[in-house]
Structure 1
Amino acid sequence: MNSSLLARLGLLVPALMLAACSSLVRDPGPDDVAFVVIGEDGAATARLITAAPTCPPLLVDNRAMPMRVRVPKSAIPPRPGQAHTPPSSAMLACEAPIAAGAVTASVAGIGLPVPKAAPTRIVVIGDTGCRLKGKEFQDCNDPTAFPFARVAAGAAAFQPDLVIHVGDFHYREDPCPPGRAGCAGSPYGYGYDAWAADFFTPAKKLLAAAPWVLARGNHENCSRAGQGWWRWLDPRPFQAGRDCDLPANDAIGEHSDPYAVPLGGGAQLVVFDTANTNYKGLPQSDPRRAAYADSYRKIERLAAQARYNIGVDHHPLFAFGANREAKTGAITLFGGDKGLLDAFGDVDPGYLPRSFGMLLSGHVHLWEQLSFASPHPTQFVAGFSGTAEDIVPLPATPPAGTSPAPGAVVEHMSSWIDGFGFMSMERTGPDTWRVLVHDRDGRERNRCLVDGRKSRCELAQVK
């Protein structure tokens, strides 16, 4: 066989492979959502949520591989006392691994971001849904009142290598009151329609921009949106019974073990589930106290794998929130989650291993930074990306003797109240970071530097 024929064959074979792959690809459906979630040891999984009856193949570097069914096509069944927007859409959840080193990936005609071994540009968001519950109703139809789509687009324009969501994805729990135009027609309850309106649809540009690390919030506990969490977001394989469908199984559905995500260069994220803690505290008789103490021991073992650790959870340990007394207008500060402080403190009076340099959390609807003279990690709170904001101001410095956790001595503090946006982190050294605070359109509002456990921001209060 002459060299000219060999050359022509060399061109033909890849072309035939591409044609074969193309024949397997279908056009994306109008409700299809595809993204990449990062789990234990940095393993990347492609997810597809679709109204189609079957899972299409995943294409990785022009090779087709089957996606497995994570959850068969079905609607989320209401738990006792719950109601969903009727009818709640039936969706199929598909997944397949993406091997480390992959260059391209797509599914159902949707391009997927592939993971980087050492991400250096990270976006942090949290508390992203539109609040419809009790007496608090956000105008979900108004992109100014519910700006998560704008926040997500601004964060995507930052071109991150990785996105971290610190929990509370779902907030549309009750029907919009009659006559309220701002949220009229919004889906509600815990079915896919409310999840799509709150998270998957407004997040699409950011889902396409980078893989995601996901922390579970209290809004995703079993009595609320836990069913959607387990079906669509949790990075581990789906386990029947551990799905929050039946209250009788909540003991296993309310808790999951921590895991680590390598960042390269001796650093890693340690992600832990705090969805079922209690801000009032956990007495010794409460089984959750022992469960979270066990989580701490596993966090400690994971932390030993890296020189520098960044914690990712929903509930802050070392941050402040503020309440205003209705009659007097007096402002009082409250500290980190007491349930976690109780349980972690049973094992370690410092609450986190000393190799932790940062803790990234949400739950309080604001942006906040604290650094300590005591050996505690820098705390960042990024619960400011979509849901109705907390508007009671924090002080530029806390009153003397005030601490977010026993033994934590505040050295530097910064906050932004009543402003929607996202936080970015750019790695500048083994344990140094440049942190920027962005508004809903991506404009810079504050700048911080992190060095090991210490951090300091240019502005004490963003105005």
Structure 2
Amino acid sequence: MVHKKKTGLVAALVAFWALCSPALAADQFQWVQYGPEGLEARAITEKAACPGGLIDGHQTEMAVRSTPGQDYPILVCSMPIPAGAKDVRVDGVPVPLPKAQPNRILVIGDTGCRLKGKQVQACNDISQWPFRIGADISSEFKPDLVLHVGDFHYRETACPIDNKGCAGTPFGDSWAVWRADFFSPGETLLKTAPWIFVRGNHEECERGGKGWARTLDPYPWSADAGKTGCLGPAKPFLVDLGGVKLGIVDVSTADEAKVNEQQVAWYKSAFSTVIDAAGQGPLWLAFHRPAWVTDGSAGQNSGGDNKTLAAALKDTLKPNVQALISGHHHVFEAMGYEQDLPVALISGHGGDDFSPDVPKNLIGLMVNGATIKSGIARPGIYGFAMLERASDGSGGWTFTGYDIHGKQIGQCAVAGRSLDCH
């Protein structure tokens, strides 16, 4: 489905955002997310107690997920949502509930603002770091589900002195950074639909791992792990999307440049576990680092592969695994292969600096032993993507890329392991 957004509204929103200070944003955030035990509501508050919960008219206390700690003066709260619940509220405000068969899935990734050494993005300029625009505009598409494919936290080092583009921005693994990089700009979208969060390499232990552990990790927070930020590779889990299942796998530390045999064994076990648990029906896998996708970073337009993941997946994938959904490459891409492999769908153009050398023509390129038969790439454009289920009951989907203002930049029909792009 093609959406035509109102340019006047976008211009007005940009003008408003440019005038707003982050200090004006709410000090409480709440959302709904999937995890291995199902659906739960979460809330972040700077108050001393968790907000109240209400499920179908019955008072339900939110439990403390994580307590305040160094650089994290926040309380994170959670509340399981039982299947079939009709009305769920946090602090009196209704939260979005899932559809048994979500037909419109928003896919975003790599959304934070990069500050790392000499790599400096203008975090204070909404035209240079436009995640807030993309989050707000994509919320107007009314998705049934939001899938974030990882990399939320990017402000790792201090803004250079006298750089007005990022002056005053926080850095490091702290609540101030997570608030600035994700929660504040994503606030409207957080309220729009249930979420699935995928851990990216920027949520590794030595980067944004503490914030991930406290706020978004689908597994329970551990006080010890939360203090050190070292969370280990998480176990995979499944989400039933009605007619297709989605397996979430943590590949945040997967070695790209060489085959890491120890990691191969672990990832092979993780992928096998979720594939076997899914049964015989169609299955997609969502993980941050792609296995057979090019971003041109290694020359010859063949960089961006992940040798460890390709080795782990090579003899593990079953025929019912139809698509691999990832980010990591800062671009909208889709690829189908000459070999019998699942299609690759990439939505990593959410806000961070672009991948610089992405080839516009992918056909015929070989990546990690796989030859690209069909596909699309739209480098140098910020935005998001939508996966939309075909209304004819065929089981097919469309994967559409949009720029940050909601203008379509490319579309592919996805049917099983086949991809037809235009």
TM-score by length of 2: 0.90
Q: Distance in 2 between matches of 1:309 and 1:320?
A: 23
Secondary structure of the residue aligned to 1:423 is strand
Gaps in structure 2 of 5+ consecutive residues: 1-24
Q: Which residue of 2 aligns with 1:21?
A: none
Q: Distance in 2 between matches of 1:277 and 1:322?
A: 19
- Quick check: 1:35 aligned with 2:28? no
Shift of the alpha carbon at 1:282? 3.3
Q: Distance in 2 between matches of 1:258 and 1:338?
A: 20
Q: Which residue of 2 aligns with 1:296?
A: 271
Q: Distance in 2 between matches of 1:365 and 1:441?
A: 17
1:376 aligned to 334, 337, 341, which one? 341
Contact kept, 8 Å, 1:270 with 1:302, in 2: the verdict is: no
Shift of the alpha carbon at 1:398? 4.1
Shift of the alpha carbon at 1:260? 0.6
Contact kept, 8 Å, 2:123 with 2:169, in 1: the verdict is: yes
Q: Which residue of 2 aligns with 1:275?
A: 252
Shift of the alpha carbon at 1:324? 7.5
Shift of the alpha carbon at 1:238? 2.0
Q: Distance in 1 between matches of 2:182 and 2:260?
A: 35
Within 5 Å, which residues of 2 pair with 1:26-425?
30-40=26-36, 43-75=38-70, 88-243=71-226, 245-246=227-228, 250=230, 253-265=231-243, 267-284=244-261, 287-304=262-279, 306-323=280-297, 331-345=300-314, 348=315, 352-399=317-364, 402-406=365-369, 408-425=370-387
Contact kept, 8 Å, 1:129 with 1:199, in 2: the verdict is: yes
Shift of the alpha carbon at 1:397? 3.3
Q: Distance in 2 between matches of 1:317 and 1:123?
A: 22
Shift of the alpha carbon at 1:436? 1.5
Q: Distance in 1 between matches of 2:113 and 2:420?
A: 31
Contact kept, 8 Å, 2:302 with 2:366, in 1: the verdict is: no
Q: Distance in 1 between matches of 2:160 and 2:69?
A: 28
Q: Distance in 2 between matches of 1:283 and 1:102?
A: 44
Q: Distance in 2 between matches of 1:102 and 1:299?
A: 26
Contact kept, 8 Å, 1:127 with 1:166, in 2: the verdict is: yes
Shift of the alpha carbon at 1:158? 0.6
Q: Distance in 2 between matches of 1:433 and 1:126?
A: 20
The residue type equivalent to 2:45 in the other structure is T
Secondary structure of the residue aligned to 1:106 is strand
Q: Which of 370-379 and 234-243 deviates more?
A: 234-243
Query: Could you report, residue by residue, the CA deviation over 1:159-185 in whole angstroms, capped at 9, with x for unpaired residues?
Result: 000000000010011111100000000
State the Cα RMSD in Å.
1.8
The residue type equivalent to 1:275 in the other structure is S
Shift of the alpha carbon at 1:430? 5.2
Q: Distance in 1 between matches of 2:260 and 2:342?
A: 26
Within 5 Å, which residues of 2 pair with 1:427-442?
427-428=389-390, 429=393, 431-442=395-406
Q: Distance in 2 between matches of 1:397 and 1:233?
A: 34
Contact kept, 8 Å, 2:42 with 2:79, in 1: the verdict is: yes
Q: Distance in 1 between matches of 2:285 and 2:55?
A: 31
Q: Distance in 2 between matches of 1:34 and 1:118?
A: 23
Contact kept, 8 Å, 2:297 with 2:356, in 1: the verdict is: no
Q: Distance in 2 between matches of 1:417 and 1:395?
A: 7
Within 5 Å, which residues of 2 pair with 1:1-20?
none
Q: Distance in 2 between matches of 1:31 and 1:182?
A: 25
Secondary structure of the residue aligned to 2:302 is strand
Q: Which of 157-166 and 409-418 deviates more?
A: 409-418
Cα pair distance change 1:174/1:109, threshold 3 Å: farther
Gaps in structure 1 of 5+ consecutive residues: 1-28, 76-87, 326-330, 459-463
Q: Distance in 1 between matches of 2:72 and 2:207?
A: 18
The residue type equivalent to 1:404 in the other structure is V
Shift of the alpha carbon at 1:435? 1.9
Cα pair distance change 1:299/1:206, threshold 3 Å: same
Q: Which residue of 2 aligns with 1:8?
A: none
Query: Could you report, residue by residue, the CA deviation over 1:225-257 in whole angstroms, capped at 9, with x for unpaired residues?
Result: 1111111111122234343x337xx4xx22111
Cα pair distance change 1:40/1:187, threshold 3 Å: same
Query: Could you report, residue by residue, the CA deviation over 1:33-57 in whole angstroms, capped at 9, with x for unpaired residues?
Result: 100111126x111000110101122
Shift of the alpha carbon at 1:317? 1.3
Shift of the alpha carbon at 1:301? 1.4
Q: Distance in 2 between matches of 1:110 and 1:89?
A: 25
- Count of residue pairs brought into register by the alignment: 396
Shift of the alpha carbon at 1:388? 0.8
Secondary structure of the residue aligned to 2:296 is strand
Contact kept, 8 Å, 1:53 with 1:73, in 2: the verdict is: no
